[in-house]
Structure formats: structure tokens, C-alpha cells
Chains A and B, each alone.
Chain A
Amino acid sequence: MRPVAFDYVAPTTVEEVVQALSDGGEDATVISGGQSLLPVLRMRMADPSLLVDLRRVDSLREIRDDGDNLVIGARATHRQVSTDPLVRQHAGLIAKTAGSIGDPQIRYRGTIGGSLAHADPAGDMGAAVLALNGSLELTGPRGSRTVAGGDFFVDYFTTAREPGEVVTAVRIPKHDGWGSHYEKFTVVVQAWAVVAVAAAVRVEGGQVAEARIGLTNMGTTPLRAAAAEQALVGVAAADTDALRAAAATAGEGTNPPDDPSGTPEYRRHLAGVLAGRAVVKAVEAVA
């Protein structure tokens, strides 16, 4: 079906976007890559009166080095993020994760800001941003603010974003020298993750010094596997069995969804297995 009729504007600055959203009221909706919004509109599961398109706001496409952080514009496409030299150098996990989303067509259109704002617990990018302690920059009628990833994701398709606010960028602390891997488990190649694990490790003196593990589709929001992260510290980097054993608890205590691709029990088991695989590959990837 075609969407219900709506008005459409495509401003060129963030200020105009915020203005348009506030003029449009409750039913005004941001459209970025449209890869999640358009299906919703076409199935008539939403009928916004106004779409505010970000496509002409050039500043939102920028990816820049901000000292200790990398700042990725919300409008950067998955394709751009996955191939950008800065992202690959300082936040390899984000680049790898972006490269795993959907298929090439989706990656050329879908954006990092759209993925995070959409907050589908099966979406890939949330776990990676959480794992790297990333945060989101938002601008609204009352100005700009920064929200930590852990605070941004609130519930199933729900974020801390206030009505009228737009995500402008994702801020990722640089993880130079870390190894990372995004282990995504799907039933067919081009499908959403049954479960996925984002892992980043820092190795010092042959041992894991720090580990970060993010989980996709293991709850109503992306999650961190804190216990497994702790268990990994001090494990010999060359001992793959020990790495796997330490990561195996990644699914514990989670409450993942129950659907034809996986029962909660299966998903918890998978999370442990995939975390092990992700950590081993992350260790191998350490520069």
C-alpha cells in the first residue's frame, strides 16, 4: 500500500529541522534513510502529517575527529560508516557493525542516526555503540544535549529522545589499538540478527586488559554483558578455550524475545557461544 498522504519538508540546517518539527507538532516525524520508516508508513502502521527530511542537512553527514572522540553525523549512511577511514581506524567495531546491516541497498540508504533513533532491539548498531561507551547528541527546541548510549535506549522502540528532538550525531570514544568483532547470527544471510554480539578487547602483555561486549536482540534494548566483560579481564589472549569460557556467560540474566527463530533459552545459549567467537576474533584483530 501507499502511505496515507503527508506534508513534506527538506530543510538545510539543524535549526530549521527543529523549527519544522515544532511547527508540525506531535505528528511531525523525522525521515532519514527511510529504511525503517517507509515500511511502517506503507503498512499504514503510522500516519504522520508531516515528514521532515534530513537529506539536505549536509552537516549531519560529516564524520570528524574530535580529539578523544569520533563524531559521526546522524545522517551518515551505513555504507559511509562502514568504509570511512576514520571510523575504521578509531572505532573498528562501528565500521564492522555498519557493514553487517541488511544488504548493500539498505546500507546505501539507511543511516546510523536512523538506526539508533528507531531503537529496534534486533537492530545492530545499538550494541556496538553501547560496547564502545558511545553517546548521542540531540538538538531540540530547548537546545542541545548529550545522552550516554546506556541512557538513550529505554525500551522496545523507545528512546530518551524528547518529542521535537533530533539526533544530530553519535560520539564514540576512540578505541585505538583495540581489537573488535561483530558476530551476527542470522537464519538466512540477509535477515535480522537472531542474536548478535559486539565485542572489543584491549590486550596488554598477552592478557585481556579490558573487554566490552554488547548484545543485540537479547532484550527490549541493546545490552552490555558486564559479567562476561569482567570475567575476560586477565585471560591469556592466546588461550581461546579460556576466552570462550569467560565469554560464555554473556547471555545470563537476560530476558530475550521468544519467536520462531529463537526461544529465550536458545538465545541465552547463543549469546554465550557468539560472545566467545566474537572475543576470539576480536583478540585476533588486535593491531
Chain B
Amino acid sequence: MTTTADRPDTAEVGQSRLRKEDRRLLTGRTRWTDNLELPGMVHLALVRSPVANATITGIDTTEAAAAPGVVGVWTGEDLPEQGAMPIAWTVSDNLKVPSLMPLAVGTVKHVGDVVAVVAATSKDAADDAAGMVDVSYDELLVVMDPIAALEADSPLVHPELGTNVCATWGMDSVALGTGGDVEEAIRAAEADPDQVVIRRTLRQNRITPAFVEPRSIVVDPTAEQVTMWSATQVPHILRILLAMTQPVDEHELRVIAPDVGGGFGGKLQATREEALVLLIALRLQLPVKYTETRMESMQSAHHARDQVQRLTLAARKDGTITAFDVDLVADMGAYLGILTAGIPLLGGFMFNGIYKIPAYRFFCTDVFTNKVMTDAYRGAGKPEATFGIERMMDELAVELGLDPIEVRRRNWINPDEFPYATVAGLTYDSGNYDQATDRALELFDYDGLRAEQARRRESNDPVQLGIGVCTFVELSGLAPSRVLGSLNYGSGGWEHASIRMLPTGKVEVAAGTTPHGQGHATAFAQLVSDELGIPFEDITLISGDTATVPRGMDTYGSRSLVVGGMAIVGAARRVVEKARPLAAHLLEADPNDLEYDRGTFTVRGTDTSKTIPEIALAMWLAHDLPDGMEACLDSESTFDPENFSYPTGTHLAAVEVDTETGKVTLRDYVCVQDVGVLVNPMIVDGQVHGGLTQGIGQAMYEEIRYSEDGQLTSGSLADYLVPHAPDVPRYRTDTTVTHATTNTLGVKAVGETGTTAAPPAIVNGVLDALRPLGVTDITMPTTPLKVWSAIQAARSEKGGAS
């Protein structure tokens, strides 16, 4: 049994504890959904549309139904009980919501739409039979490009909606009362010889979260509650959404996210596959399993980004920004997922970045095309915004002949200006951009690299060096419930946790945020250890199960620590408050005479004390409690943040561009982040490394491509290239710490910083290398072919001009 002697004598917070969960996660000896086997379980195979827009003229299931092992075959017509898939964010009054049925009825809208489902006694039998389902399609014209979709004569993805415009949404500094009128400011700048106006159209490539574990679902309808295991980030939200849309009530459904192999937003969804497994299990009253293949994942799991950004930046010739106007066209794909329509809006709050901008406007047009829906992916709207502003800051620097760092410095919020009310209506609590930038410049040897760059330019070196800069802030820690309410978001943003004190002195932490690789079990144990003086090893995490963790808002938007962690700390502090009267009783002292320090109550001025484990045991025995005391030390807490979390930092990329082949090589990458107080520096580094690699992926390699007729041409990991370890440099990271003032731990979010900052840093670097050759823009991913072609085009233009 734990005694005072076992009390950890150094604080856990701040230590790079190895992750408790890694042994089982890294060896795969764990409960991935697809590892689950239940008695009598049947397996599903889905028949998916090979065409992008069509009327279904017939489905013949006779041969499939008669195939060996087949238990049933259903089409959309055969499942009248199916309900339309939910959306969770009604972004605007003019939002148009197309019907998305788990099984298509009558029409298909993208390659991968589900038209039939086969259940069989084995996965093989189901796959075989699915190949026998004969579907006839009457193909319709498709629209694949969001700008083309806005043209008057464009084919309509959903003719019944009468338009391809899904929604429009805007904000501006006049209405917000945060600044001046953008149009006026730009007009004034145009008329002012001391100002410049820069207009650019930038593109966000379509990408996919590419989680390692494909989505997998098992539903067991054979008990008091129907149990669904799903490789999801959001078991709690999923339960509510399925109960609201499918023939099962909330109290009848239990959802479990066992260990989940990555999500990155890609598993922040209520999917038709989840609904279908549920529907078929209810029909058959048997356990049912479905696990997608990678190819199915590519053509059905939501994609991300895919925006056209039309940006106008006005500034004085000394570099100070006078106005910024953002006009977005965002590609929704064919349907709306739970947050699809709102993802671009999140960027609206971030296009101003870390800068003081006196006039700002954001307008977004959400558009339907015949592609897979887009939705959240690590950063969700904010990487798009950061890309926009940070690319523009470099354009401004070039226009004015200023150093890109200097132009940023002249605009960013100074350390003494926090808390700072931004032009987009947020209040940044803390930060010190000078400190992080100065540290990054020093680590990077900025001046040395600039000198090398000059040498290479002068000698016409076939390998040119570029320096890419990104200074960023991120809106994380979703979210203050009131703010969500004001945005018509369909839920609150609070988080819940409970702490269960076990009689042997051990602790179970039940947390409403559910991990899929982040290291919650480790970081949360560190938090609780410091609060309750319980050794790290004696604390375990329970999560991802609506039965054992009844309340939760799950994991996304870098909320697990800054929101979920605060709920845990709140619950731990309640344990202490509940323990205090019993400690006083046992110590025969006045509760007010007790001092508490990490797990031990001491009578002031004496050495008599009781530890939390001792009190937990006494509480459990309940032999000697004060009159009227409830025999329970367990506590819960719900935390609703008052503000978002604003991690910031400075990223510097040194890129080499081989002008003969177009190949871009990342030679060095330095990033200095301010993520507030570090609970576990190793986990912070891991989050940064992973995020950077994904951001580098978007910038240099990854792209979902469709042909003009709507075929997905990057449907496997052989065509959709993600970076491997040797493709990225050994990152050099450091942190500066300004305490968050929005929570008592002083922590800020970290999960999305890499995907946010890396793309503009890299593209800025590539352009910095190539501008002397006449290259002015390049879209992501910066593949060798694209870079080489851009150089060729610039050369022939130069040649033509001379």
C-alpha cells in the first residue's frame, strides 16, 4: 500500500516521462477494433460507386444473395429505417444541406458513394458476393472544380438544391467593431503613393489525414445496450448523432473507441459506414464487423483543405499593414460531414495571424463538387489561414524589398500589448513573438544562411538555397461553449473528467477526451500525480467508452490538455476538498488548521499528517466518518474554457532547390514554439515532429487528385505520397514559455502547430530560392515536376521579354 514514503518528491509536470501506452500501441498487441471477434459475428462488404455522378437505374442483387456464406444483401431501397447522416454545424441561414443516406437511394454523387451492402459469414465471402452485385448507372455530367462549380452553366451536384453554393459566411471589422472598413482602406491605399496593394490568389491542395489504422466498426446488438466499437475520435458525439438519426435511442447505445491508430481529424466524423454497421446489426440481431481497405478509406473517409484564397493586402511602404481582405472559395465535396461547412470559417478568425491589422474582412463561399466531402484535418481551417497570411507577408516583404522577418516584426503584437483584442474579434491572452523569433534565428544561423544564399545566387549554383519563414498563432483548445453557440455550432465545448479513488491507494482517471495516439494516459497521470501526490505508476486512464466515461466531448482541436486536462485537475482538487474534512476528523484537528501539499494533509505546526491514500482507505472502510459524511471521495468536474488557447511560434526552413531537376530538399528545419507550460516535453516534441511531417507532406508531396470525369487518381498510398522518415530533416525544436492566462496550469495547445506552420514556411522557402529566376508562385505540393515547370516557364518568359 502506498505510504507517504512513496510520494513522488519532484513534480511530475515538466518531466519527459516515457509514454505508458507505447508498449502495447507499438507492438500492436492491443484492442484495435479490427482485432475484436465476437461469437456469431458477420462481416460486411460495401459496394461503392465507380462513377462520380449518376442516377442508379437498377441494382441486381440476386447472384450475390445466393452466393456461399451470404446472410443478406441490401440496397438503399431495402433500408427504409435508415436516417440521413447528421451535420453538427449550421453555419448560416443560407446553408443548403444535401441528403446523405448511409446507403444511396436513387443517385450517387462521388466515386465511393455506397450503393449496396453485403453481409456474410466471413469477410472473404462478403467481398466475393459484393463483386456480384450488378449496378446500372445513368451517368450525369460532373463538376470537379469549385470555381467552375460557381459558373452559371455548371452541372449541379444536387439539382434539387438549385445551386452549387452550399453556404456563404462573412465577418468584417466594421461589424465586429474591431476596425475600419476594408474596401475603403484598400481604395485609400490604391490612391496613396506611400502604400502598396498586393493581390494574390492562392490554392490549398486537397489532402487526406491518412491515419495508419483504417476505419473499423463492430456492433454487438445482443445485450441490454447495443454496443458499437469504432475507430473514432469521438465516441460520445457519435453516440448522440447516431441516436438522433438512426433507429436507436441514446440510452440504448454504448459507443467504445478502443485503441485508435491515429485520427488527425479524419475520425472526427459520424460516418455512413458506422450507421450501416449499426443498421445491419439491428436488422440481423447479430454482431457485425466492417473494416475498410486503404482504397475505400481514400474514396470515402473525408478529405481536407481544398480552397481557393483570393487575398488583398494593403500596407504602407514602411511595411505596416493597413488592410487585409480575404475571399475564399472552399470545396465541400459532394456532401456535408458533421463540420464540413464550418471548417473554412474557423480560418476567418486566424487570417490576421499575429499581426495588428486595422481593417479586415473575411468572406467564404462553400461550394459542392462531385468529390469526397472535406472536413476536419489537423488544424482545421487554421493552417489554411496561416498559409494565406504568411504567404502574403513574404509577398509584402518582396514587394517592399524588406527582410521577411523585419516586415513581420513591424506588424506583430508586441509583448507588452497582451492581452490583445484582435481585428477578428478574439483576445490573445499571452505571447512573445520577439523572443521565439530571436531564438529561432539564432538556432538557424539565419545570417549565415543568407550569406550562403547570396553566394549561390552569385555563382549561379544549380542548387539554390531558400529560406522560408512562418510566424504563427493558432486557435486551439476547442472551445468556449458560448462562442460555439454564437456560431450556431451544435454542441458545447466543455470537457468532463472524474477521478475514482480506489481503496488500495490507486487512482482511475476517467476522462472525456479520448486518445488516438496523443499520450493522454501519460500526461494525465502526470497532472494527477502532482495534484494528489499519487505515484505516476499508480494512476490509470479510462477513456473512450460512453458507459465508463458517461460525459465527454472527445478529442479534436487540440483540446485534450487545455480543456480536458483542466477538467481532470478540477476533479482532483475536488477530491482534495472532499478529503479535507475526513483528514481533519482522523487527525482530530480543525479543517482550517490543515495544510495540503501534493497528497498530504499536515496539521499546521506539527508533523502529524494523513495522505490521500490513507484517507481513500478510511473513506472506503467508512468505519469512522464524521456524522453525515457521504462515503465517497470520487469527484467529477466539467470545465468550460472562457477563451481559446493561442500557441504561437516561429518556424524557419532551409530548402535546397535543384534547378536542374526541380527537386526540393529540406535541409534544415528550426521551430521554436510557445505552447505555455510543458507537461511532458517529450510528448510536446512528438506532437511537433508529427505535425511538421504532415505539414511538410501537404507542402511537398501530398495531393488528392481527380480526373476531369471524377475518377480518384490518387486512390492508394502508391499514388498519394506521404513523407517517410528519410524525406524530412532532423528537426531542431525549442520552446519559449509564456504562461497561458486562460487556465490555472498555464498550458497552451500544441497538437496542430506543425501542420499549421510548416506549409507556408516551406513554400516561402521554395519561392525565396526561385524568385531570382523569375518564379513568382508555386502551388502545393511543390513536386519536382511543378518546380521544374515553373522554372522553365519563368525562363521562357524572361527570354521572351529580353
Give A199 Cβ to nearest chain B Cβ, in Å. 16
Give A10 Cβ to nearest chain B Cβ, in Å. 22
**In contact, B705 and A260 (Cβ under 8 angstroms):** yes
- Assembly CA distance A266 to B705 (angstroms): 20
B contact residues around A190 at 8 Å (CB): 724, 726
Interface status of B660 (Cβ within 8 A of chain A): yes
Contacting B at CB under 8 A, from A140-189, are 185, 187-189
- Assembly CA distance A185 to B727 (angstroms): 13
Contact mask for chain A residues 1-34; partner B; CB cutoff 8 A; 1 contact, 0 none: 1101000000000000000000000000000000
**Central interface residue in A1, A2, A194, A273, by most chain B CB within 10 Å:** A1
Give B557 Cβ to nearest chain A Cβ, in Å. 29
Interface status of A287 (Cβ within 8 A of chain B): no
Give A221 Cβ to nearest chain B Cβ, in Å. 21
- Assembly CA distance A263 to B785 (angstroms): 8
Residues of A near any B CB (own CB < 8 A): 1-2, 4, 43-44, 185, 187-192, 194, 260-263, 266, 269-270, 273-274
Known contacts A1-B293, A2-B123, A273-B661: A187-B784 contact under CB 8 Å: yes
Interface status of B415 (Cβ within 8 A of chain A): no
B contact residues around A188 at 8 Å (CB): 701, 721-724, 727
Give A215 Cβ to nearest chain B Cβ, in Å. 15
Complex A-B: 14 CB contacts under 8 Å: A1-B127, A2-B124, A185-B784, A188-B727, A189-B724, A189-B727, A190-B726, A192-B718, A260-B703, A260-B714, A260-B785, A261-B785, A262-B785, A266-B788
**In contact, A4 and B663 (Cβ under 8 angstroms):** no
- Assembly CA distance A106 to B588 (angstroms): 71
Return the contact of B128 from the options A4, A185, A191, A269 (Cβ within 8 A).
A4
- Assembly CA distance A273 to B663 (angstroms): 12
- Assembly CA distance A153 to B351 (angstroms): 55
A contact residues around B723 at 8 Å (CB): 188
Give A47 Cβ to nearest chain B Cβ, in Å. 10
Q: Give A274's nearest chain B residue, CB to CB.
A: B661
- Assembly CA distance A1 to B195 (angstroms): 61
Return the contact of B783 from the options A2, A4, A261 (Cβ within 8 A).
A261
Q: Give A43's nearest chain B residue, CB to CB.
A: B295
A contact residues around B701 at 8 Å (CB): 187-188
Known contacts A2-B123, A2-B127, A190-B724: A185-B663 contact under CB 8 Å: yes
Interface status of B94 (Cβ within 8 A of chain A): no
Q: Give B462's nearest chain A residue, CB to CB.
A: A273
7 closest Cβ contacts across the A-B interface? Answer: A189-B726, A273-B660, A188-B721, A1-B127, A188-B727, A190-B724, A189-B727
12 further A-B pairs in the complex, CB-CB below 8 A; given A188-B724, A190-B724, A266-B785: A2-B123, A4-B128, A187-B784, A189-B727, A190-B726, A191-B721, A194-B784, A260-B714, A261-B785, A263-B789, A266-B788, A273-B660
B contact residues around A185 at 8 Å (CB): 661, 663, 784
A contact residues around B123 at 8 Å (CB): 2
Interface status of B729 (Cβ within 8 A of chain A): no
A contact residues around B124 at 8 Å (CB): 2
- Assembly CA distance A262 to B783 (angstroms): 10
Q: How large is the interface on B (under 10, 10 to 19, 20 to 34, 35 or more residues)?
A: 20 to 34
Chief secondary structure at chain B's binding surface: loop
Return the contact of B788 from the options A187, A191, A192, A269 (Cβ within 8 A).
A269
Q: Give A262's nearest chain B residue, CB to CB.
A: B785
- Assembly CA distance A65 to B703 (angstroms): 48
Give A121 Cβ to nearest chain B Cβ, in Å. 15
**In contact, B661 and A270 (Cβ under 8 angstroms):** yes
Give A184 Cβ to nearest chain B Cβ, in Å. 12
- Assembly CA distance A231 to B719 (angstroms): 36
- Assembly CA distance A150 to B57 (angstroms): 51
- Assembly CA distance A274 to B663 (angstroms): 12
A contact residues around B99 at 8 Å (CB): none
Q: Give B658's nearest chain A residue, CB to CB.
A: A273
Contact mask for chain B residues 441-468; partner A; CB cutoff 8 A; 1 contact, 0 none: 0000000000000000000000000000
**Central interface residue in B127, B713, B721, B789, by most chain A CB within 10 Å:** B721
A contact residues around B718 at 8 Å (CB): 191-192
- Assembly CA distance A185 to B662 (angstroms): 11
B contact residues around A262 at 8 Å (CB): 785
Give A227 Cβ to nearest chain B Cβ, in Å. 20
**In contact, A266 and B789 (Cβ under 8 angstroms):** yes
Q: Give B789's nearest chain A residue, CB to CB.
A: A266
Known contacts A1-B293, A44-B131: A187-B661 contact under CB 8 Å: no
Contacting A at CB under 8 A, from B643-686, are 660-663
- Assembly CA distance A253 to B321 (angstroms): 53
Give B514 Cβ to nearest chain A Cβ, in Å. 30
Contact mask for chain B residues 694-715; partner A; CB cutoff 8 A; 1 contact, 0 none: 0000000101010000000110
B contact residues around A269 at 8 Å (CB): 788
- Assembly CA distance A274 to B658 (angstroms): 12
Contact mask for chain B residues 105-135; partner A; CB cutoff 8 A; 1 contact, 0 none: 0000000000000000001100110010000
B contact residues around A189 at 8 Å (CB): 724, 726-727
- Assembly CA distance A44 to B131 (angstroms): 10
- Assembly CA distance A45 to B344 (angstroms): 39
B contact residues around A43 at 8 Å (CB): 295
Give B46 Cβ to nearest chain A Cβ, in Å. 12
- Assembly CA distance A270 to B662 (angstroms): 9
Return the contact of A187 from the options B127, B131, B783, B789 (Cβ within 8 A).
B783
A contact residues around B784 at 8 Å (CB): 185, 187, 194, 261
Return the contact of B721 from the options A4, A187, A274 (Cβ within 8 A).
A187
